[in-house]
């Protein structure tokens, strides 16, 4: 009997132990699962953090790419939105931390070779020596640019002096934060230190719009890309020539038909700009040319010896061009033209023609005369504009001979729009 009771007690104890082990196993399983769950949460959180960090890096990279893209140049004088963006990009100022940085930055902007800049530290201050290129900028302009920049940084201009022979200027400046004096000497570099800039030569070919097929292809294929094509409105192949020119990366401009003194013997066309038209009608016709040839970046006059000498007419024409951000090339068909001078007064980018290459004909004798004229202009003009016409193959061959001879003289062939690019900073 006693043994039976003992067996029952032992059996109960075994069950109790078994139940305890089972409970312990369940508790361990719960703990393991909990640890796994926490680990998963931790990994996911870290992954999100890494992803977020990577995303931030990508955003920074994209921002950097945008900043770099701002340095890319847009085509000269595009539509208003593009021009506004271009102006904003051009006006971006490189930040400088101190006066020394500012001096070097201004020196670079006015064309000083930074390798030629020297400095000395003395008891009375820090000395900077800036050798400038006499061909690019004069002492007074360089001084004004530098003074404007330093004053914008709250530096105090203590004094300025110029040499008796006007070969150098000295500017003394006090920087209040650093409490340091700066003495800046701007002087003309010795001859030979800077290579002399080549004079620029721009060539414009007038009267496109009538020629097509093989002859038009020859103009595009055989003539350098820097040669500008002037296209007349209202002609069968005007738009085709414009589109092809822009696709090839060539400057195209509107060749505006305007009334000559010899009218009606020489007729510019029924939709031309005549001196007896009202301001409203002149603007209407010119706006029509621009609508037909919207990718052109400037305009020059076809004929127009009477119209370009008329103040009222030119006011209407130049104001309209300015509204559309187009430059004006005065073909200078008369010495009485006021187009060039009036455009300058209006701050409209402008230049005038110096040589008609094929006037009065396309012969070697005329070519030699034009080259002799170019040689005389070389010592007087940094920029020369030549106009020829597109009517036949002989004019292509004549132009190519002229370009070859001009480059041997030392001229650099550029597009007309390149002549308007301001290489110097504005005075602050």
pLDDT given for residue 391 in this prediction? 96
- Write the CB contacts of 132 (distance below 8 Å, at least 6 apart in sequence): 110, 111, 112, 139, 142, 186, 187, 188, 189
Higher pLDDT, 8 or 424: 424
pLDDT given for residue 173 in this prediction? 93
CA angle at 393 for the pair 390 and 394, rounded to the nearest 5°: 95
C-alpha distance across the termini of the chain, in Å: 118
pLDDT given for residue 42 in this prediction? 54
Total residues belonging to the chain: 428
pLDDT given for residue 72 in this prediction? 35
For residues 316-328, average pLDDT: 98
CB atoms within 10 A of CB 359: 13
- Report how far residue 119's alpha carbon sits from residue 407's, in angstroms, rounded to the nearest whole number: 40
- pLDDT tier at 265, thresholds 50, 70, 90: very high
- Report how far residue 175's alpha carbon sits from residue 182's, in angstroms, rounded to the nearest whole number: 8
* Per-residue pLDDT tens digits for 25-44: 666 666 666 666 666 555 55
- Write the CB contacts of 61 (distance below 8 Å, at least 6 apart in sequence): none
CA angle at 201 for the pair 251 and 314, rounded to the nearest 5°: 65
- pLDDT tier at 119, thresholds 50, 70, 90: very high
Does the pLDDT of residue 63 top 80, yes or no? no
The residues that bridge with 130 in the sheet, in sequence order, are 186
- pLDDT tier at 59, thresholds 50, 70, 90: very low
Contact (CB, 8 A) for 356 and 398:
no
Does the pLDDT of residue 51 top 70, yes or no? no
- Write the CB contacts of 106 (distance below 8 Å, at least 6 apart in sequence): 145, 146, 149, 425
Q: Which of 89, 87, 94 is nearest to 108 (CA)?
A: 94
Residue 71 has which token pair? 């340095």
CB atoms within 10 A of CB 298: 26
Helix (H) or strand (E) holding 89: helix 80-90
Report whether the peptide linkage leading into residue 264 is cis, meaning its omega lies within 30 degrees of zero: yes
pLDDT given for residue 226 in this prediction? 97
Average pLDDT, rounded, for the chain = 84
What DSSP assignment string belongs to 372-410? HHHHHHHTT-SEEEEEEE-SSHHHHHHHHHHHHHHHHHT
For residues 399-412, average pLDDT: 97
pLDDT given for residue 88 in this prediction? 47
Higher pLDDT, 84 or 380: 380
pLDDT given for residue 165 in this prediction? 87
Does the pLDDT of residue 2 top 50, yes or no? no
pLDDT given for residue 164 in this prediction? 85
Higher pLDDT, 31 or 300: 300
- Report how far residue 331's alpha carbon sits from residue 349's, in angstroms, rounded to the nearest whole number: 14
- pLDDT tier at 48, thresholds 50, 70, 90: very low
Does the pLDDT of residue 191 top 90, yes or no? no
Which domains does the chain show, CATH number per domain? Answer: 99-188 (3.30.460.10), 200-420 (3.20.20.370)
Does the pLDDT of residue 216 top 60, yes or no? yes
pLDDT given for residue 196 in this prediction? 76
Please give the model's pTM, rounded to 2 decimal places.
0.64
Residue 195 has which token pair? 């290579």
Does the pLDDT of residue 50 top 60, yes or no? no
Beta pairing, strands 200-208 & 156-162: unpaired
Instruction: Report the helix count and the strand count for the chain, using DSSP H and E.
Output: 11, 14
Contact (CB, 8 A) for 87 and 73:
no
User: Measured between alpha carbons, how far is residue 208 from residues 19, 215, 231 in Å?
Assistant: 104, 11, 5
For residues 186-208, average pLDDT: 91
Half-sphere exposure of 395 (CA within 13 A, CB side): 21
């Amino acid at each position: 009997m006693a043994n039976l009771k003992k067996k029952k007690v032992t059996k109960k104890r075994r069950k109790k132990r078994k139940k305890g082990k089972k409970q312990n196993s369940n508790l361990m399983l719960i703990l393991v699962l909990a640890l796994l769950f926490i680990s998963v949460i931790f990994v996911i959180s870290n992954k999100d953090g890494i992803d977020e960090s990577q995303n931030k890096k990508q955003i920074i990279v994209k921002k950097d790419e945008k900043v770099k893209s701002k340095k890319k140049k847009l085509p000269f004088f595009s539509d208003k939105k593009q021009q506004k963006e271009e102006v904003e990009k051009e006006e971006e100022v490189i930040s400088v931390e101190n006066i020394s940085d500012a001096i070097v930055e201004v020196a670079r902007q006015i064309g000083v070779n930074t390798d030629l800049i020297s400095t000395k530290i003395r008891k009375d201050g820090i000395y900077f020596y800036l050798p400038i290129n006499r061909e690019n900028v004069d002492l007074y302009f360089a001084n004004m640019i530098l003074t404007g920049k330093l004053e914008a940084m709250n530096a105090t201009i203590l004094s300025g002096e110029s040499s008796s022979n006007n070969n150098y200027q000295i500017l003394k400046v006090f920087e209040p934060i650093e409490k340091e004096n700066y003495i800046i000497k701007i002087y003309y570099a010795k001859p030979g230190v800077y290579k002399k800039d080549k004079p620029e030569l721009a060539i414009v070919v007038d009267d496109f719009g009538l020629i097509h097929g093989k002859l038009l292809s020859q103009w595009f294929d055989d003539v350098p890309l820097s040669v500008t094509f002037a296209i007349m409105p209202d002609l069968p192949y005007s738009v085709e020539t414009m589109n092809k020119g822009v696709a090839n990366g060539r400057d195209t401009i509107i060749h505006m038909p305007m009334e000559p003194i010899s009218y009606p013997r020489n007729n510019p066309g029924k939709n031309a700009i005549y001196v007896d038209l009202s301001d409203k009608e002149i603007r209407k016709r010119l706006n029509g040319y621009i609508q037909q040839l919207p990718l052109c970046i400037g305009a020059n006059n076809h004929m127009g010896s009477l119209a370009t000498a008329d103040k009222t007419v030119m006011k209407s024409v130049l104001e309209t061009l300015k509204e559309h951000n187009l430059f004006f090339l005065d073909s200078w068909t008369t010495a009485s033209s006021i187009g060039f001078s009036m455009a300058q007064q209006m701050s409209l980018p402008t230049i005038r023609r110096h040589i008609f290459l094929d006037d009065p004909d396309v012969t070697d004798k005329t070519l030699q005369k034009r080259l002799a004229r170019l040689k005389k202009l070389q010592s007087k003009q940094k920029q020369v504009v030549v106009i020829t016409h597109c009517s036949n193959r002989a004019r292509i061959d004549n132009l190519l001979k002229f370009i070859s001879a001009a480059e041997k003289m030392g001229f650099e062939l550029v597009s007309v729009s390149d002549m308007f690019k301001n290489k110097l900073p504005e005075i602050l």
